[in-house]
Amino acid sequence: MNAFANLVHDSSAIQACHLDALPGEPDVVANLILSPGEQNHWRSMRAVEKRRHEWLLGRCAAKQAVQSLLEKEMDLCLPSAEIEIAPDPYGRPQVQYCGAVPWPAAVSQAALSIAHSHGTAVALAVLDPGARVGIDLESLTRRRQDFEAIAFSPDERRLLSALPADLTEEWALRMWCAKEAVGKALGRGLSAGLLAFHIARVEIARIIEVGLRDGALVQFPQFEGKSLLVYTARESDFVFSAIIYQQGAVRMRPSRQEIQDYLLQKMGELTEDWDYPDPVHPESRLFTELGFESLDAVVLCTAIQEHYHTPMPFAELLAEIGQQQRDLSIKELTDFVDTHLGGTAENGSATRRVQ
Ligand SMILES: CC(C)(COP(=O)(O)OP(=O)(O)OC[C@H]1O[C@@H](n2cnc3c(N)ncnc32)[C@H](O)[C@@H]1OP(=O)(O)O)[C@@H](O)C(=O)NCCC(=O)NCCS
């Protein structure tokens, strides 16, 4: 899960776990790691062996993710069997402490998502009571013929066909995973319909932007006009998509004006001690006017990425500027950030998306 964990870099209070096999015989593992309630469920589970195996593997991954998170963040070492993962009425996994001693509420503050496919399970846990998470994975080796016709709208299929031909198969699965990840984070899965989660934009650099439509908007009207950013990654034969968002403060795309205001404020902070006589304004140029050096630009770019929780190809932008021996205005930088957060950079600046 390294590729994925690196992407979701906005919070240290996050833990992913990826398992390809159970650490022992299923019944032995079940006895060791499951709570009494989970053991009852495991024993009475009427399902094909594959489903039982993946359910147990998912529990292993989930418990490991939660344990590591609690240990890392709170110095709490809990036995697996005292962490119970029970579904809410819609199937969303919830974390509870079921040990004997009274325990800090932190355990049940962990938000968790589980996915399994083709003998592999992943779990993503975040220690934040206001957070929702969703993760999904698919195996690239289990290609379903023409699943795009059912899974995607004509607009989404157009997005796919605009990608380089050698990437379409992989990105079709990543887009599918993005829909499932959003459905899981919202807690109702894809019950509103496959097309109710609409892929609005794909950035090959690892981001998929998803909006809600139709039945999904009926379920979650607060998402009207908002876009959710889903991270996506590939590791060997699997693709993953995952989302983390704060309830009530959806990580949504900021407007161009908001981006510009943020950049002006940030530049104001950075240049505070630099004896620059005039106020910083959108036309101010970083290098010739504001006296930026390369390292200052790198510090600024890092701050922008952290602020928006989104990796952007600043290295390529700075290299391009160096090669062309030109300067960069705050207005252009605004357009660059806007473009890479999903905007259209309508302001007409020359900055284009760097892939
Ligand atoms: C939730 C859903 C997206 C899971 O997708 P899937 O491909 O079947 O299975 P995955 O391996 O990706 O994920 C399974 C895990 O999702 C989690 N999950 C199930 N329902 C969930 C929900 N409502 N919210 C969040 N997570 C959920 C569970 O942890 C489950 O694992 P577990 O049962 O072993 O604990 C899908 O089953 C769904 O949309 N269900 C609801 C509506 C429905 O029936 N839709 C049919 C259209 S496909």
Nearest-5° Cα angle at 304, 334 to 242? 110
Cβ(342)–Cβ(227) below 8 Å: yes
Comparing 354 with 52, which gets the higher pLDDT?
52
28: Cβ contacts below 8 Å, ≥ 6 apart: none
> Which segments within the chain are labelled E, that is strand?
14-19, 83-87, 93-97, 110-117, 120-127, 131-139, 197-203, 207-212, 227-235, 238-246
The whole-angstrom separation of Cα 45 and Cα 70 is 29
Give the pLDDT band of residue 108 (cuts 50, 70, 90).
confident
Ligand 1 close to Cβ of residue 93 (< 6 A): yes
Mean pLDDT is highest, among 88-97, 201-210, 219-228, 316-325, for: 88-97
Based on the domain organization, do 143 and 94 belong to the same domain? no
**Domain interval for residue 305:** 256-340
Beta carbons of 160 and 168 less than 8 angstroms apart: yes
Single out the residue in 72, 100, 129 at which a domain terminates: 129
Measured in Å, residue 355 CA sits from the centre of ligand 1 at 33
Torsion of CA 209, 211, 216, 219, to 10 degrees: 100
Among the listed residues 66, 81, 87, the one whose alpha carbon sits nearest the alpha carbon of residue 14: 66
Residues 246, 280 within the same domain: no
How do residues 255-276 score in pLDDT, each as one tens digit?
A: 788 889 989 988 888 777 776 6
Residue 146 has pLDDT above 50, yes or no: yes
What pLDDT shows up at residue 267? 85
pLDDT tens digit sequence for 310-346: 778 888 898 888 888 889 999 999 999 988 876 655 4
Atom of ligand 1 nearest to the CA of 186: 24
Top pLDDT among 351 and 252 is at 252
In 3D space, the residue among 156, 160, 219, 149 whose CA is nearest the CA of residue 190 turns out to be: 219
Q: And the tokens for 146?
A: 């023409």
- Ligand 1 atom nearest to 137, measured from its CA: 12
Return the higher-pLDDT residue of 138 and 5: 138
Q: Tell me the percentage of the chain whose pLDDT exceeds 90.
A: 48
What is the pTM (predicted TM-score) of this model?
0.74
Q: Are residues 319 and 272 in the same domain?
A: yes
Among the residue ranges 169-173, 236-240, 247-251, 312-316, the one predicted with the least confidence is: 247-251
The token pair that represents 65 in the structure block:
């993710």
- Ligand 1 contacts CB of residue 206 (under 6 A): no
Listed in sequence order, the residues at least 6 apart from 182 whose beta carbon sits closer than 8 Å to its beta carbon are 134, 197, 210, 212, 228, 230, 243
Instruction: Indicate which residue's Cα is closest to atom 32 of ligand 1.
Output: 55
Same domain? For 97 and 172 the reply is no
Most informative mutation of 126, 132, 190 for ligand 1 (most atoms within 8 A of CB): 190
Question: Among residues 100, 129, 158, which one ends one of the domains?
Answer: 129
212 in a structural domain:
yes
Least confident of 15-24, 84-93, 143-152, 191-200: 143-152
**Is the CB–ligand 1 distance for residue 148 below 6 Å?**
no
Domain of residue 191, CATH code: 3.90.470.20
Written as six digits, the tokens of 287 are 């290098």
